[in-house]
Structure 1
Amino acid sequence: MAAFAAEPNMSAEDIGDADFGPFVEEGRILKFSQVDPKTSVEERCYCLPTEEWRCKLSLLMSRMCRSGEAFDAFTSNDLARLEGTLLGYSKEDIEAFVIHAASRKMQNFSRD
């Protein structure tokens, strides 16, 4: 799975997903997208056939985060682990990211 976010008026080249187009047209890669009505940012997810659940779950999580609903059931670390898993990162890499993000949060918190 690959995920991108496109602000209004950004081209596929600006975002980095331009090379996916031919594969989507051939059906070798599937594309899912949604637009945030408040910001007009388009989220684009790409996956292999039979892996649609990854994109659908990622976009659902994004909507739930925007509404705040996700935080009723998940911590930010839970959500980072879920997204990392959907993107195909190893458990070790995901945990390293969670630790790094927590240390950055603590650095920012101590500056305030």
Structure 2
Amino acid sequence: MTNERRTGDRVVFERGIPAFMMGIDGTWRRNCILEDVSETGAKLTVEGSVEGLHLKEFFLLLSSTGLAYRRCELSWVNGDQIGVNFIKQGDKSRRDGRRQTLDPAVV
């Protein structure tokens, strides 16, 4: 059994859910199967090679039209399976800046 690194609960799909991976710049796209998912990440089985793809940051498209998606970064690779972490909207510095502008008396 592998060491579980994920902290949140995960949902495992019996047959997997067809999805797509796409480069941030749109220069590549791969079919994949969503094997399991949690609030923070997912495990994917990728069709075709991932060699040479820019996987530091990419989109996981959950619909063929691209309307449902998550921004991802690569966590691990094991053969044709990869683990991804979901990237939250906004970065830490932007969120910290918003917190500082809140007036505690108003909240």
TM-score by length of 2: 0.25
Give the number of the structure whose alpha-carbon radius of gyration is greater: 2
More helix by share: 1
More strand by share: 2
